[in-house]
Structure 1
Amino acid sequence: MTFVLGLTGSIGMGKSATADLFRRLGVPVHDADAAVHRLYRGRAAPLIEKTFPGTVTEGAVDRAKLGAAVLGDPARMKQLEAIVHPLVREEEEAFLRRVSALSPVAVLDIPLLFETGGETRCDAVLVVTAPAAVQRARVMARPGMTDEKFHAILAKQMRDEDKRARAHFLVETGRGFSSAEAQVRSILACLAGRPGRRSHC
């Protein structure tokens, strides 16, 4: 049985880079954000256009128009989530079926894992973290980022300390790439040959 490891972390913590480390080490990773992008160019587009007319251009969701239609409106955001979340789950389930006979470990990369209850679909959760000063420096270096945007994003995410308290594993990315890779390798060694739900190794 494939061990399902949830991977999450707040903005700027190094989650995507950590997911890439797993891929480089041969572990299959399902990226929920990438799944949403595919769905916006495919199955989700007509459903979104029906609910939010004018948000699809040439068969693909225009994210700026969709954002303008739902941001700041919790009811409309729930409508969008009701369309997208089940489709992402379907892709996730198909991914797990594909890899179940191929890999002892599979990673589900879900940005808002705890916030959406995604931990219930995982055997364990890995939280990627970094010191607050490192996080801020990384995020503020992104094009177009402002203090206001940064704090708005953080407001939607569970606090890092709360995520760490609920994690089975941590990867601290503030000490550089080599350290993060060593931590990932250690986690994989810990999970080797240990199928099933576990709180720790």
Structure 2
Amino acid sequence: MIRVGLTGGIASGKSAVGELLRQHGALVIDSDQLARDVVAPGSAGLAAVIERFGAGILLPDGGLDRAALGRLVFSDDAARAELNAIIHPRVRAAATAIEAQVSDPYAIVVHMIPLLVETGQQDSFDALVVVDVDEDTQRARLMARNDLTEDEAQARIDAQVSRTDRLRVADFVIRNDAGLEELAERAHAVWHELLKRRGQQGDGCGC
């Protein structure tokens, strides 16, 4: 099995790359989705979040108001750290459980983790793929996607490690500064390299 960490700054295009790798045959474990799952209505994770941040972060239907919670934690480093302490262990346990079910010894398992470097997991994988964009593009995409002000978008970018630190630990970098066709070509090139690594690991294919 090849275990791959896939990360990148917020609004860099990780999900698009993850989907492209899934189409090539990877098992993609999406930590963003797991982070939603572990705070689903009725979950122990949501109960812990309510206990810390109060019922004001709930939607009328009882679900988590992620926008309201974001406004709280992205302006308060201590609050964000407390939220991460609730969410991250649950997400890691869920990801571990999914990976444990993989029976194919030659599977390529991609863990898509937004805060992979921030949480010190860069040495936990056989390969680390970073999706990269310049900060101006990142900020513009984030403002459009999440309906944020420039200051709000910048605060979310600043809450993550720097682009330089992220690139420093990358085995492969996929630039997402053009169209979908170019992104698909770049993801395919990385997939080919992952297949080569899998071949070197023991199946002799590398094709």
Q: Quick check: TM above 0.5? A: yes
- CA deviation profile, 1:5-44 (whole Å, cap 9, x unmatched): 1111112322111111111222111111111111111331
Letter in 2 for 1:93: T
User: What residue is the counterpart of 1:49 in the other structure?
Assistant: 50
Matches within 5 A, 1:1-201: 2-41=1-40, 42-54=43-55, 55-56=57-58, 60-64=63-67, 66-67=69-70, 70-101=73-104, 104-192=107-195, 193-195=199-201
SS of residue matched to 1:167: coil
CA distance 1:138–1:51, shift in 2 (3 Å): closer
User: What residue is the counterpart of 1:199 in the other structure?
Assistant: none
Residues 104, 195 of structure 1: 8 Å contact kept: no
For normalisation by structure 2, the TM-score amounts to 0.81
* Aligned residue-pair number: 195
Structure 2: which 5+ runs fail to align?
Answer: 203-207
Aligned residues: percent identity?
A: 33
Letter in 1 for 2:51: K
Letter in 1 for 2:100: R
Rounded Cα–Cα distance in structure 1 between residues aligned with 2:58 and 2:170: 38
SS of residue matched to 1:174: coil
Root-mean-square deviation (CA, aligned residues, Å) is: 2.5
Cα offset, 1:178, TM superposition: 2.1
Rounded Cα–Cα distance in structure 2 between residues aligned with 1:13 and 1:64: 19
Structure 1: which 5+ runs fail to align?
Answer: 197-201
SS of residue matched to 2:122: helix
Residues 5, 128 of structure 2: 8 Å contact kept: yes
